[in-house]
């Protein structure tokens, strides 16, 4: 166990506080837990300018004991591309496909797997629509831990399954959706004291992902006006918002950007929750953007907090719009992103009048992960 702790865990529903521990939900009320950091002053960012451009340049803002081993594959430091500047509107895309296994999950897994070692676990587990399992398998291999992944059978993009197998994960295919696989892994973890759960219900994983916000701030020297994020299990949108919120707390920026969550129309429980105030899971989620084919997002309360607090909103786009946006990004800008990662652009380009100032689209994963999508481009008459 390493060094001085400058953070603790707090329940987002009842406010109960806990010393750092490998826990996932509040013992009192079952609410999600968030990490509360003792933040440095606003001078922090001027002190780190010469550090390497990867996630661990923000070491002091990440909840890992000072003597603990960092499990890194050189994640973070991804490109922020300026796509256009027109009529007072600057459009950027943050390319998380630049990460070692090709998605933003690597940020969370670098910290999450480091925590698994710090806490003395020998095995890590997750349910996944693909990217989480690919990333966890790679980081577990790096750390010398066993990896166990639960995947919805037939619904994981081939590149992602290929990665999990290559890195030596033990794979359990589940007949059902991601939500069924997630239930199964939670049951497994509750029955084993040696298995650390690395889905985004794990509060530490999201701490790794909050570094997306720090990088955007450093690249633009300010917060953008809007950040648009594809939403599945609804952890990443909260993580990015939390990163910006910490920058406000440190006195580095004045306001958080408006956070806009985009779901696929066949898997959009957050849109209904946002518009009607009542939460209803989608029983049989369906979309060709398999990364976000999730009907019962575990981080719904965190995501709602982030979106409402920031003055943002949730919306959805059709599969056709997603695929046509994916091709548009590929052909107009030379950037290949996976289908889920094209959802923010699909939403932006049909609602451009809503935006002014600066907009950052979060492109969550690399296009090469899902080459089978080619047949749907053709079925939809897009090529
Ligand atoms: N984009 C991609 C490419 C993803 O893989 C995911 C989630 C998301 C967006 C949504 O992020 O869940 O934090 O709202 N993929 C998970 C997985 C569920 O298992 O790989 P979220």
Query: Which among 229, 208, 276 is positioned nearest to 72, based on CA atoms?
Result: 208
Q: Is the pLDDT of residue 91 over 80?
A: yes
121 vs 118: CA distance, rounded Å: 8
Number of domains in the chain: 2
Out of 2-6, 110-114, 300-304, least confident range: 2-6
Q: CB of 241 within 8 A of CB of 301?
A: no
Q: What percent of the chain has pLDDT over 90?
A: 98
Q: What percent of the chain has pLDDT over 70?
A: 99
Residue 246 CB neighbours (<10 A):
19
Return the ∠ at Cα 278 (arms to 181 and 235), rounded to 5°: 45
Cα 101 to averaged position of ligand 1 atoms, centre (Å): 13
Cα 31 to averaged position of ligand 1 atoms, centre (Å): 21
For ligand 1, say whether the CB of 290 is within 6 Å of any of its atoms: no
132 vs 169: CA distance, rounded Å: 12
> What pLDDT, in 10s, does the model give residues 258-267?
999 999 999 9
| Same domain membership, residue 136 and residue 94 | no
Instruction: For residue 151, give Cα distances in angstroms to 128, 169, 235, 246.
Output: 5, 12, 18, 34
Residue 317, strand partner residues: 264
| Same domain membership, residue 320 and residue 304 | yes
Confirm whether 89 is domain-assigned. yes
* Banded model confidence at residue 2, pLDDT cuts 50, 70, 90: very low
Confirm whether 4 is domain-assigned. no
| Same domain membership, residue 242 and residue 324 | yes
| Same domain membership, residue 230 and residue 86 | yes
**What pLDDT does 54 receive?**
98
Element spanning 343, H or E: helix 339-350
| Same domain membership, residue 372 and residue 227 | yes
Confirm whether 243 is domain-assigned. yes
Q: Which residue has the tokens 């950037």?
A: 335
Question: CA torsion 214→220→223→227, rounded to 10°?
Answer: -90
User: Which atom number of ligand 1 is nearest to the Cα of residue 160?
Assistant: 20
Last residue of a domain, one of 178, 202, 226: 202
**What pLDDT does 5 receive?**
72
Q: Is the pLDDT of residue 280 over 90?
A: yes
pTM for this model (two decimals): 0.98
**What pLDDT does 4 receive?**
59
User: Which atom number of ligand 1 is nearest to the Cα of residue 338?
Assistant: 3
For ligand 1, say whether the CB of 135 is within 6 Å of any of its atoms: no
| Same domain membership, residue 255 and residue 170 | no
| Same domain membership, residue 222 and residue 323 | yes
For ligand 1, atom 6, the nearest C-alpha belongs to 291
Mean of the per-residue pLDDT values for the chain? 97
| Same domain membership, residue 270 and residue 332 | yes
For ligand 1, say whether the CB of 164 is within 6 Å of any of its atoms: no
| Same domain membership, residue 256 and residue 125 | no
Provide the sign of the torsion angle of the four alpha carbons 114, 119, 124, 126, taken in this order: negative
150 vs 167: CA distance, rounded Å: 15
| Same domain membership, residue 351 and residue 224 | yes
Confirm whether 333 is domain-assigned. yes
Q: Is the pLDDT of residue 364 over 90?
A: yes
Confirm whether 116 is domain-assigned. yes
Residue 98 per-residue DSSP state: G
From 230, 329, 362, give the residue whose CB has the most ligand 1 atoms within 8 Å, as the site to mutate.
Answer: 230
| Same domain membership, residue 266 and residue 129 | no
Query: Which among 218, 245, 244 is positioned nearest to 80, based on CA atoms?
Result: 218
Confirm whether 275 is domain-assigned. yes
> What pLDDT, in 10s, does the model give residues 240-252?
999 999 999 999 9
Last residue of a domain, one of 202, 237, 268: 202
> What pLDDT, in 10s, does the model give residues 133-181?
999 999 999 999 999 999 999 999 999 999 999 999 999 999 999 999 9
- The more confidently predicted of residues 88 and 139 is 139
Tokens of 89: 């509107």
**What pLDDT does 108 receive?**
98
Q: Are strands 258-264 and 313-317 parallel, antiparallel or unpaired?
A: parallel
Domain ranges, residue 293 = 80-103+204-379
Q: Is the pLDDT of residue 375 over 80?
A: yes
55 vs 99: CA distance, rounded Å: 10
Q: Is the pLDDT of residue 60 over 60?
A: yes
Q: Is the pLDDT of residue 211 over 80?
A: yes
Last residue of a domain, one of 141, 175, 202: 202
Residues in the chain: 383
326 vs 255: CA distance, rounded Å: 31
Q: How far is C-alpha 280 from the chain's CA centre?
A: 22
Mean pLDDT along residues 81-109:
97
Q: Is the pLDDT of residue 208 over 70?
A: yes
Cα 42 to averaged position of ligand 1 atoms, centre (Å): 31
12 vs 16: CA distance, rounded Å: 8
Confirm whether 347 is domain-assigned. yes
Question: What's 244's domain CATH number?
Answer: 3.40.50.1100
Q: Is the pLDDT of residue 1 over 80?
A: no
| Same domain membership, residue 331 and residue 219 | yes
Confirm whether 262 is domain-assigned. yes
For ligand 1, say whether the CB of 343 is within 6 Å of any of its atoms: no
Cα 294 to averaged position of ligand 1 atoms, centre (Å): 9
158 vs 336: CA distance, rounded Å: 16
Cα 219 to averaged position of ligand 1 atoms, centre (Å): 24
Q: Which residue has the tokens 């689209």?
A: 361
């Amino acid at each position: 166990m390493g060094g001085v702790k400058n953070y603790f865990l707090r329940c987002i529903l009842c406010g109960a506080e806990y010393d750092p521990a490998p826990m996932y939900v509040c013992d009192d009320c079952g609410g999600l837990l968030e990490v509360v950091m003792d933040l440095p002053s606003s001078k922090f960012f001027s002190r780190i300018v010469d550090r390497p451009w990867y996630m661990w340049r923000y070491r002091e803002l990440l909840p890992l004991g000072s003597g603990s081993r960092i499990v890194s594959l050189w994640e973070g430091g991804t490109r922020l591309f300026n796509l256009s500047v027109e009529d007072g509107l600057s459009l950027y895309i943050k390319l998380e496909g630049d990460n070692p296994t090709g998605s933003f999950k690597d940020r969370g897994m670098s910290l999450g797997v480091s925590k698994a070692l710090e806490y003395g676990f020998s095995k890590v587990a997750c349910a996944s629509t693909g990217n989480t399992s690919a990333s966890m398998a790679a980081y577990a291999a790096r750390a010398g831990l066993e990896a166990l992944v639960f995947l919805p059978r037939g619904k994981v993009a081939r590149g992602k399954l290929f990665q999990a197998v290559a890195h030596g994960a033990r794979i359990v295919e589940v007949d059902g959706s991601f939500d069924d696989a997630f239930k199964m892994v939670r049951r497994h973890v509750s029955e084993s004291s040696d298995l650390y759960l690395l889905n985004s219900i794990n509060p530490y994983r999201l701490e790794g992902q909050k570094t997306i916000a720090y990088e955007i701030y450093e690249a633009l020297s300010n917060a953008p006006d809007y950040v648009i994020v594809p939403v599945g299990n609804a952890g990443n949108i909260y993580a990015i918002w939390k990163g910006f919120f910490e920058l406000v707390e440190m006195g580095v920026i004045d306001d958080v950007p408006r956070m806009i969550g985009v779901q696929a129309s066949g898997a959009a429980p957050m849109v209904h929750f946002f518009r009607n105030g009542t939460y209803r899971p989608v029983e049989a989620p369906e979309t060709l953007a398999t990364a976000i084919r999730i009907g019962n997002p575990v981080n719904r309360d965190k995501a709602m907090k982030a979106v409402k607090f920031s003055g943002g909103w949730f919306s959805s786009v059709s599969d056709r719009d997603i695929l046509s946006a994916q091709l548009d990004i590929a052909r107009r800008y030379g950037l290949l992103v996976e289908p889920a990662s094209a959802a923010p652009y699909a939403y932006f380009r049909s609602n451009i009048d809503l935006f002014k100032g600066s907009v950052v689209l979060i492109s969550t994963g690399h296009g090469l992960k899902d080459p089978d999508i080619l047949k749907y481009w053709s079925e939809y008459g897009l090529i």
